Amino acid sequence: MPAESTPQLEKYELLEEIGHGGMATVYRARDKRLERDVAVKIIHRHLRENQEVAARFVSEARAVAKVKHPNIVEVYDVSEQDDDERYLVVELVGGTTLRKHLQVHGHMPAEVAAALCIEVAAGLEHAHHQGIIHRDVKPENVLVELVPSVSSRRPSQGRASEPGAARVKITDFGIAKLLDVQGVTSTGQVLGSPAHMAPEQIEGGDVSERSDVFGLGVLLYECAVGKLPFEGKNPAQVLRRVLDGTYTPADRARPTVGASWSKIIDKALARDAADRYATAGEFAEALRDQFQVVGFDDPQGELAAYLADPAQYTKGYEDRIVKRLSECARLARKQRATLLAGAHFNRALAFRPNDVQLLAELTGLRRFEMLKRILVRVGAIAAGSLVLGSAAFAITRAIRARDATREALSLAGSAAEAVRGAAPQTEARPEKTALPSEPERKAGRVAGATHRSTPKPTRSVRVTVDPIT
């Protein structure tokens, strides 16, 4: 920069510009008193007179100054109210931003991207415990650096040097917000990058640590796939897709990511905050669990090895991951976990689509799964037949019992009728008649003989018994 355009600070000597954003310009500087290199972020001159922006800038300093964590850039100093410039002095981190790294090297292997996000999640979780939400988690605000180890600086003859340690730090809490303080932006202004913002942040709703989980999910997707999940021709389209939750799953956008990693990303990118991981720590734990599944036991070591030489790491990574995925798939198949075995085989084939051995094993797995489904269906039909047979037997017995009951009731009805015919319910009283005379009695003997020879007439009664239904 031209010397005349470089701000002049009393306590710090600005050496060179190392970054430029919408809110401030970052310089590498020298602390004149402590004689150490620092980073100085100076707010743009056209913004420093804005009371809202100035208050947010001070809020950044006060919020982050109390946060001490290896994955967060440390704040050293802040400008005074009467200073000509409004600035923030922070720890100077070597290396580069994650954005620049992706621009140079492209997407990362899924395991490396996950290892990096574990580091970012650790810093976010610590900030959340302090009541601070970052609100703008994106590659521009993540710094990556490889710190050489002692053996790397002085490698022994005949022995490969160790890659050193990876250092990942979150920076730019300039739009961070204290949960226990009223927001500085009372105008309803949307703060943050549209493609990385959670839906509730866009809608002006309650922003919580789950909002940073969403941003971390976007970060993991971009690192592993090589592009953003929510894209559009303009910011309005991007915002609409974020609000609708419309994106291509990671394993479809890049099949080598695999279904397991993609499932973790999907949960972090859930439209409703309640459906995401509750905390950044919970998200990191899910990533660690998946590392164990694929047999990568040292996420930090994987990240360091990658940063030391991305091209060389990627070259050897394919052989390692395909071998490990094949082993996991065979183990899952042995345990009858066919869906998991299929997922491992499919991801391995994404790296090597023409591998005959992998194709044969996946085909055999599909045939086994098809046979299992057929056997399950046959078993269901057989079980259904047994149930139907038992039901038919029970129904037949019930019908026979009903018929027997009807027959018994019919016989009982006939017996009752016979009893009623032998002993009628109403007894007839004899009529009183005059005593016959002697001649009549004589004539009556003959008539009586005739009367006895004539049978007494009977009366039939029909009784109807309704059948039992």
> Active-site residues: which are they?
162
How many beta carbons lie within 10 A of that of residue 306, not counting itself? 26
Structural tokens at position 4: 């005349």
- Structural contact between residues 207 and 177, judged by C-beta atoms closer than 8 angstroms: yes
Sequential DSSP letters for 396-458:
HHHHHHHHHHHHHHHHHHHHHHHHHHHS-SSPPPPPP-PPPPHHHHHHHHHHHHHHHHSPPP-
- The distance in angstroms from the start CA to the end CA of the chain is 104
Place of tokens 């009371």: 51
Name the residue among 155, 77, 73 with its Cα closest to residue 120: 73
Rounded to 10 degrees, the C-alpha dihedral 159/112/296/257 comes to -140
Render 310-342 in DSSP notation, one character per residue: HHHHHHHHHHHHHHHHHHHHHHHHHTT-HHHHH
CB contact set of 242 (below 8 Å; sequence gap of 6+): 194, 195, 197, 198, 199, 202, 230
Taking the C-alpha atoms of residue 337 and residue 331, their distance in angstroms, rounded to an integer, is 9
Structure-block tokens of residue 181: 């303080």
The values of phi and psi at residue 126, to 5°, are -65, -45
**CA nearest neighbour of 306 among 98, 120, 140:** 98
**DSSP string covering 161-208:** PP--EEEEEE---TT-EETTS--S-TT----S-GGG--HHHHTT----
